[in-house]
Structure formats: structure tokens, C-alpha cells
A and B are shown apart, each in its own frame.
Chain A
Amino acid sequence: MSFFHTLMSKPWEVGSGEAIDRGQVCSTPSGKLGLTAFFAIITVLFTLLTLGFFTRMASEDWVPLIEPDLLILNTIFLALSSMAFHGAWIIVRKQQAMVLPSASSPSPQKQIKFRNGLMALGGVFAVAFILGQVLAWQQLYNQGNFVNTNPAITFFYLITALHAVHLLGGMFAWGRSAVKIWYGATTDKIRQSLELCTSYWHFLLMLWMLMFVLLVLDNNGKFDLIAICRGILLGD
């Protein structure tokens, strides 16, 4: 039953909802639904930052910042981290889907080892991303681009810092899963946290890519999205 259909029902009538309602709007587990709601909040947060960015960009004292090339490498790290989590998640899903392992499929022990390796790799690449961001800060700082030098630089520091804080929150969840695995938790026990970590990493990767585009938008000294799109699509 759709939400709007629900809002139209007449609860005072005998028989309304008589086919006993399960008490859930969807079959999505609570953790996943909670995380989805959290995505909405983060989206609002960064949308507001983006609006602030554009508002402030219109002022005369805005000096475009040429972002360090290192950010491209950092983006690759975050993408690899995200892919590693996704790989681990695919293994877990396959493990669950398999009622009887076929002769060709790898042994469960091997699968678990592979899964754990991918999870570890996900964490390592995430740490590499954060360290890379810190290094980018360091480069800017050494060039004399301090946080209060120019609003473009301020936004760079603020947006990258807030994004990194969210990733650190994810690292906390990753750490908890790692501890569980260390103490021999079964796949069932870490299934949900791995799924949530994977979704969270994908989300943060997407968010970072959008923020990255936002930060480099002003590099020509003006906001000319069409020129950038033409550049990408037509190679002008």
C-alpha cells in the first residue's frame, strides 16, 4: 500500500486494516532504513554548503583555487575502497544465496579469507584517502594557502574536512566489524554491518565526486558549467 493510499484510509471504520498490518512500512531492515535517512541528512548538509559556496563565489574577493593534483589520486583511493567493500559484500551475498556449494565454487574458508582481505583493503584505502587529503592540505599550506587566505580556500578546507569527518565515522563502524571478525564472528553476525558499510562508502564516494566537481568549478575564474561539459564531451 502506497504512503498516499495509507493517508487516505479511514481508520475509524470497522475492517479498516483488518488484514493485520505488519507494523512496518517496508521490508527493509531498520539499520538500512536508518542509514538511508542519514544519507538524506548528509545530502541536506552538503547541499547547503554548496549553496553557500555559490553565494560566496559571487563576491568580488573570491580568488579561484587551483586544487592539488593529489586529489585525483585520493579519489582513486576512495573508489578502490568502495570497490573493495562492494566485493566483500558480493561474497557475503553469494555465501547466503548458496544452499549447497557446487564443486566449482571456492571453499567457504577461502571465501571468508577473501572477504576479510577485501574488507581490510577497503579500510586501508580509506585510510589512504584520508591521509591523502591531509597531504593535500599540507601542500596548500606550504604554498601559503591558509584557511583564511581566501574564501575559495576556506571552502576547500571546510568541505574536505566535513567529508573526512563523515568517513571517519564510517571507519568507526568498519573498526567494529573488524573487531567482530577478529573474534570469529559468523557471516550472519557481520552481514548487516558490511552491507551498511558498503552503502555508506558508495554514498561517500559519490558525495566526494560531486564535491570535487564543485571545488574545481571555479578554476577558470568563473562558473561556466557548459564550458566544462563541452570540454568533457567534445574535447574543446
Chain B
Amino acid sequence: MTDTVTGTTISPTDHVDHGPTTFLTKYIWSQDHKVIAIQYAITAISVGMVALVLSWLMRLQLGFPDTFDFIDPEGYYQYVTMHGMIMVIYLLTAIFLGGFGNYLIPLMIGARDMVFPYLNMLSYWFYLVSVLVLMSSFFVEGGPTGAGWTLYPPQSILPGTPGYEWGIILMLVSLVIFIVAFTMGGLNYVTTILQARAKGMTLMRMPLSVWGIFVATIMGLLAFPALFVGGVMMMFDRLLGTSFFMPAIIAQGEALQYNGGSPLLFQHLFWFFGHPEVYIVALPAFGIVSDLISIHARKNIFGYRMMVWAIVGIGALSFVVWAHHMYVSGMNPYFGFFFAVTTLIIAVPTAIKVYNWVLTLWRGDIHLTMPMLYSIAFILTFVVGGLTGLFLGNVVIDVPLSDTYFVVAHFHMVMGIAPILVVFGAIYHWYPKITGRLLNVKMGHIHFWVTFIGTYLMYFPMHYLGFVGVPRRYFAYEDAVFIPESAQTLNAFITVIALIIGAVQLLFIFNLIWSYYKGKEAGPNPWNATSLEWQTAETPPGHGNWGPTDPVVYRWAYDYSVPGVEEDFIPQNVPHAKGETHQGPDDDKGDT
């Protein structure tokens, strides 16, 4: 047997003997991709809970202004900034790529681990350090930065902005460390997918989850350097008094040392990273949800090749749309036109994906399991968020709506709620493989319905707030005569809903812990799924994943309800039977 990782020939028994034996090497300084994945996920969820509490504080102020003495304007801006940055980078990016990427890539492609396990371990520890540095900003003089998650200069590094003293520095240092961590992890994911697949696992036999993670990782590797450059330059401006982004400024009657810098340059760098970042989060979600829908509808994914092409196409296009975040920053109208066109073109591959998900469900044997409920919720939410994106992609519509709650509603639906619904669906789906037990369904239903309905109650009204011109990022609107009374009533309503949704997430966390001890035994393949991770010798999979024998792949990951086959699924590692007919998009699975 040839180990694809090292290229050396090893005996079958070698694999089973290599597992770490001490607690420290098994669970702390572990190089096992599964343990690293869980470390990533636990850290991401923990820091996500901090961001959730920050959103509660924000909503308390907006819903009930002048009520809570402990929320001041500085604090409010700090909550907004930290909530945004944590959710986008430290929760969603980390959990999709560091969490699911680490867990699923080797298992789904039939590898024993990542190709660079040591680098993989370092990746997690750098990520943890970046989180700790970020969290430490809550405890330093001046608190965390309140510059907004986009950290636009010059305001972000001027005295008077909350967190000027230390917060902004710690934020930038934390981001730089995060990018180093991501690069180490990302190189691993890409190389593993390209070079360490099981025999027979062609690229086009890979499950779409892997495709989504693969393309998102490549995007991350190419996009994060822009944030890195922007972050380092801003650190120079803040600490060394240089003027990369800082123009000549007179503050409180005195001219500051800055001169000639370009704030717009930072915006370009930030959004050259920032827009692909949306898809770095979205593509893994697209991939995962494709698998969840196919498995729980017992039907092959509709248009597999088109789904792959769409993932690749969206990934490429997302690098040429960044300036649609800058329509109000001032730009040549022809640029605006160009970026509006590219933005709208992205809707084409995205719409293909939505159609294919719906067509996979069409006449499928839909099982309304928790993962399926979350998948359907994702499709609906993503469509709603995506449609408002078409509004904002047009310059003439974006200009009046920019900086209003319409934008807040849009991006929360499309890149906040939609991906997080997939995270929940994915956790319900793969938890049995990770722990050997099923999550409690009753708690799951409460969690799902409150979260799903709640998010609509929360964000639909925000569109209205945006239409009537309620600006975002404001601490209070006391003297704004153009804001009707109904807006305040809605704000109070949204706050109550937000608190309820937040509380029900605690039930989800409780479910994760409770089910680990008391959940129903799952068995190796509770969903009757075809992909390789469900075919491991042990559940949870042991060190090296596959026991003594490497898996060999004979088919794609979507052989569900194949005509003439008794079982409604055929695992990827089952050879074709004599006379087996092809399973293709032309087949009508609805009748079986």
C-alpha cells in the first residue's frame, strides 16, 4: 500500500499504531485533523457567543434608548465593530474552513489526514492566539476599537474613536495573526484535496462540500493578503506616524502629522479582500447544503457538473466586484457601471445553484430531518437576501439605500443568517459521525423554528426601516424628525425578537453538550449516506480514519435511489455491479 501523504510504501498495520497516546498529544497538541477541527469549532462557537452577547447589547440600545445606563455611545460602537468582525472572520470563516474543512476534507476524499499535519496544528494555535489577542482588547485601556468592522481610515486611527489607544492595534495584530493561521491551514486544504485523495476519487467524484471548501480556500489564500497589506500599512500609520492612508488632517485646531495618504486605497484593499470574503463564507455553505439536500431528499444532486462550474465561476467573479461596496465613496461613473455589471453577472451562477437545489428537492423523497429543515430554510433565506443584493448592486438604487438599515437587513440575511443556518444543518448532520450520537430532535425543532421564524421577524422590518431612511451605525435618533414613530416601535419589536433568538442558541449549545452524553446512539451511517466519511471502520473515526485498509472509490457521491437497486443508496466505495445502469440527470428519481 502506498501512502499518498509521504509517498512511501508502508505496511497496513503501520497506520493503526501511529496514534498519539497521551492526553496532551491526543487532545491538545494534536496533529489529527478531526481533533483540530473540533478545536477550531469550539473556539469559533465560543467567540461567536461573545459576538451574540454584543448584538444583544446593541439591540437593547436601539430598541430601548435612554434605558440602560451601562451602554454609552463609545461602547455601542465597540459592540458594533467587534460583533461584525468576530462573526465574519473569527466565527464563520473559521468554522467553515478550520472546522468543517478540517473535519470533512480528509474523510470525504478518503485521506488519512492532511498532508502537513504539523502545519495544521500550528494553524489552530495561531488562530487561538489571534482570538485571544482580539479578546484582550476588552480589557485594555480604552477598550476594543469602535471603528466599525470595515476599519475605514482616517477615522479608525484618530483620537476620539473608541479604542484609539490599544483597541485598533490589537485588532490589526489579531487580523495579521489570523491571516497567518489561515494561510497555514489553507495551504493544507488545497494540497490535500489535490494530492491525497483516495484511489478512484477523481476531482469530479468529490462531494460538493469539498468543492465548496476547496474553492473558498483558494479564494481566501488570494484575498487575505489584501487585508494583510491593509492591516500592516494601517499599523504603520497608527504606530509610526506614516501616511499610507492618512490625508492631511486638522483635529481640534491642530494639524496632525499626517499628509497625502489615500483613505480610498485602504477601501480598495479592504474590499478586494472583503467581497471574496462573502463567498469564502458562502461557497462552503453552498457545497454543504447541496450534500444535505441530496442525502435527505434521497436523490442525486441535480446538475452536479453545473454546480461545480458555478462554484468555480462564482469564485472567479467575486474578485472583480469589490468596488460595489464603494459606490458612495466616489468613483468614475464608468467604474461604477463596470462593477454593477459584474455584480449582476454573479447572479447567474448563483441562480443556477438555487434552481438546482430546488430541482433536487422536486419529487424527491424528502425526509424532514433537522439538516433538511435547515437546508430548506437556507434556500429561502438566501433567495431573500440575494434578491435585495440585486437592488444594492445597482448604483442608482444603492446610493440612497447605502448606510441605511436596508443594507444591514440584506447582508445579515445573505451572509449572516443563510450561512449560519447551514452551519446548524451541518452540525445536526455530522454530529453523529463526530460523537457517535444523534442530537436531540425535540430541542432541535425548538431551536430551528424559533431561529428561522425569528430571523424573518427581525430582518424583514429592517428593510422597511431602510426604505424610510433610518441610518445604520447611529447610537440614537432623538432629533431625527424624518424617522416616523413606527420605526421606534419596530426597533423595540426587533430587539425583543433578537433577545429570544439569542436565548434559543443557548438551547442549541445545551443540546450539543446533553446529546454528547445522553443522545441516541447513531451507528456508523444514520442517514444512509453514500460519501466516504460515513463508511469509516469506526464511529467516531479513529486515528488514521480508515483502519488498516485505504478506501477505494468507484462512483460519485450521489448514487441515491438508483433504479433496480434495493437499497436507496450506494456508498462511494462499492464497486459497480454487473449490468448496473448509469445514474444520471436524465433519470427520473421521483418515481422510485
A interface residues with partner B (beta carbon < 8 Å): 6-18, 20-26, 28-31, 33-34, 37-38, 40-41, 44-45, 48-49, 52, 55-56, 59-62, 147-148, 151, 154, 158, 162
Chain B contacts of A61 at CB under 8 A?
Answer: 243, 259-260
Stretch of B67-75, B138-146, B192-200 lying at the A interface = B192-200
Whether B243 and A45, one on each chain, are in contact in the complex, defined by CB atoms closer than 8 angstroms, is no
Whether A52 and B236, one on each chain, are in contact in the complex, defined by CB atoms closer than 8 angstroms, is no
Q: Does B262 contact A (CB under 8 A)?
A: yes
User: Given A30-B196, A60-B260, A151-B242, A11–B116 Cβ distance below 8 Å?
Assistant: no
Residue of B194, B196, B205, B582 with most partner-chain A CB within 10 A: B194
Subset of 18 A-B contacts with CB under 8 Å: A6-B203, A9-B202, A11-B205, A12-B583, A14-B582, A17-B205, A21-B199, A22-B199, A30-B5, A30-B196, A34-B188, A38-B183, A41-B225, A45-B228, A52-B229, A55-B262, A56-B262, A62-B260
Q: Which of B272-311 contact A (CB under 8 A)?
A: 272, 300, 304-305, 308-309
User: Given A11-B205, A25-B194, A52-B269, A154–B187 Cβ distance below 8 Å?
Assistant: no
User: Given A14-B576, A30-B5, A55-B262, A21–B187 Cβ distance below 8 Å?
Assistant: no
Chain B contacts of A60 at CB under 8 A?
Answer: 260
Chain A contacts of B188 at CB under 8 A?
Answer: 34
How many residues from B make CB contacts under 8 Å with A?
Answer: 67
B311 to chain A: closest CB distance in Å?
Answer: 11
B interface residues with partner A (beta carbon < 8 Å): 4-5, 7, 109-110, 115-116, 183, 187-188, 190-192, 194-205, 221-222, 225-226, 228-229, 232-233, 236, 240-244, 257, 259-262, 265, 269, 272, 300, 304-305, 308-309, 312, 552-556, 558-559, 576, 580-585
Whether B183 and A59, one on each chain, are in contact in the complex, defined by CB atoms closer than 8 angstroms, is no
Whether A41 and B222, one on each chain, are in contact in the complex, defined by CB atoms closer than 8 angstroms, is yes
Whether B203 and A25, one on each chain, are in contact in the complex, defined by CB atoms closer than 8 angstroms, is yes
Q: How long is the Cα–Cα vector from A60 to B195 in the complex, in angstroms?
A: 50
A139 to chain B: closest CB distance in Å?
Answer: 19
Chain B contacts of A41 at CB under 8 A?
Answer: 183, 221-222, 225
Whether B201 and A10, one on each chain, are in contact in the complex, defined by CB atoms closer than 8 angstroms, is no
Residue of B109, B202, B259, B585 with most partner-chain A CB within 10 A: B202
In the complex, the chain A residue whose C-beta lies closest to that of B258 is A148
Chain A contacts of B202 at CB under 8 A?
Answer: 6, 9, 11, 16-17, 21
B201 to chain A: closest CB distance in Å?
Answer: 5
Q: How long is the Cα–Cα vector from A35 to B228 in the complex, in angstroms?
A: 19
B212 to chain A: closest CB distance in Å?
Answer: 15
Whether A12 and B242, one on each chain, are in contact in the complex, defined by CB atoms closer than 8 angstroms, is no
Q: How long is the Cα–Cα vector from A16 to B380 in the complex, in angstroms?
A: 35
Whether A44 and B225, one on each chain, are in contact in the complex, defined by CB atoms closer than 8 angstroms, is yes
B200 to chain A: closest CB distance in Å?
Answer: 5
Chain A contacts of B236 at CB under 8 A?
Answer: 147, 154, 158
Chain A contacts of B312 at CB under 8 A?
Answer: 7
Whether B308 and A7, one on each chain, are in contact in the complex, defined by CB atoms closer than 8 angstroms, is yes
User: Given A10-B584, A30-B5, A158–B194 Cβ distance below 8 Å?
Assistant: no
User: Given A17-B202, A17-B205, A148–B191 Cβ distance below 8 Å?
Assistant: no
Chain B contacts of A14 at CB under 8 A?
Answer: 576, 580-582
In the complex, the chain A residue whose C-beta lies closest to that of B301 is A12
Question: Which of A6, A15, A18, A24 makes the CB contact (< 8 A) with B195?
Answer: A24
In the complex, the chain A residue whose C-beta lies closest to that of B193 is A25
Whether A38 and B262, one on each chain, are in contact in the complex, defined by CB atoms closer than 8 angstroms, is no
Question: Which of A23, A59, A154 makes the CB contact (< 8 A) with B196?
Answer: A23
Question: Which of B194, B243, B554 makes the CB contact (< 8 A) with A24?
Answer: B194
Q: How long is the Cα–Cα vector from A62 to B244 in the complex, in angstroms?
A: 11
User: Given A21-B199, A29-B7, A30-B196, A12–B558 Cβ distance below 8 Å?
Assistant: yes
Whether B199 and A59, one on each chain, are in contact in the complex, defined by CB atoms closer than 8 angstroms, is no
B499 to chain A: closest CB distance in Å?
Answer: 42
Whether B257 and A33, one on each chain, are in contact in the complex, defined by CB atoms closer than 8 angstroms, is no
User: What would 8 more interface pairs be, CB under 8 Å, given A52-B233, A56-B261?
Assistant: A7-B308, A7-B309, A10-B305, A20-B200, A21-B205, A30-B5, A31-B116, A34-B190
Q: How long is the Cα–Cα vector from A20 to B115 in the complex, in angstroms?
A: 21
In the complex, the chain B residue whose C-beta lies closest to that of A147 is B240
Chain B contacts of A17 at CB under 8 A?
Answer: 200, 202, 204-205
Q: How long is the Cα–Cα vector from A232 to B274 in the complex, in angstroms?
A: 41
Whether B190 and A23, one on each chain, are in contact in the complex, defined by CB atoms closer than 8 angstroms, is no
User: Given A33-B191, A48-B269, A59–B262 Cβ distance below 8 Å?
Assistant: yes
Chain A contacts of B116 at CB under 8 A?
Answer: 30-31, 34
Whether A23 and B115, one on each chain, are in contact in the complex, defined by CB atoms closer than 8 angstroms, is no
Chain A contacts of B583 at CB under 8 A?
Answer: 12
In the complex, the chain B residue whose C-beta lies closest to that of A35 is B187
B556 to chain A: closest CB distance in Å?
Answer: 4
User: Given A23-B200, A41-B225, A13–B191 Cβ distance below 8 Å?
Assistant: no
Whether B195 and A33, one on each chain, are in contact in the complex, defined by CB atoms closer than 8 angstroms, is yes
Q: How long is the Cα–Cα vector from A31 to B300 in the complex, in angstroms?
A: 36
Chain B contacts of A16 at CB under 8 A?
Answer: 202, 204
Chain B contacts of A24 at CB under 8 A?
Answer: 4, 194-197
In the complex, the chain B residue whose C-beta lies closest to that of A59 is B260
Whether A30 and B191, one on each chain, are in contact in the complex, defined by CB atoms closer than 8 angstroms, is yes
Chain B contacts of A33 at CB under 8 A?
Answer: 191, 194-195
Q: How long is the Cα–Cα vector from A40 to B195 in the complex, in angstroms?
A: 18
Chain B contacts of A37 at CB under 8 A?
Answer: 187, 190-191, 221
Chain B contacts of A62 at CB under 8 A?
Answer: 260
Chain B contacts of A151 at CB under 8 A?
Answer: 242-244, 260-261
Q: How long is the Cα–Cα vector from A62 to B272 in the complex, in angstroms?
A: 25
Q: How long is the Cα–Cα vector from A18 to B385 in the complex, in angstroms?
A: 42
Chain A contacts of B204 at CB under 8 A?
Answer: 6-7, 9-11, 16-17
Q: How long is the Cα–Cα vector from A151 to B265 in the complex, in angstroms?
A: 14
Q: How long is the Cα–Cα vector from A77 to B89 in the complex, in angstroms?
A: 41
In the complex, the chain B residue whose C-beta lies closest to that of A42 is B225
B318 to chain A: closest CB distance in Å?
Answer: 15
Whether B242 and A148, one on each chain, are in contact in the complex, defined by CB atoms closer than 8 angstroms, is yes
A49 to chain B: closest CB distance in Å?
Answer: 6
User: Given A9-B202, A148-B257, A38–B187 Cβ distance below 8 Å?
Assistant: yes
Whether B190 and A56, one on each chain, are in contact in the complex, defined by CB atoms closer than 8 angstroms, is no
Q: How long is the Cα–Cα vector from A38 to B309 in the complex, in angstroms?
A: 25
B307 to chain A: closest CB distance in Å?
Answer: 11
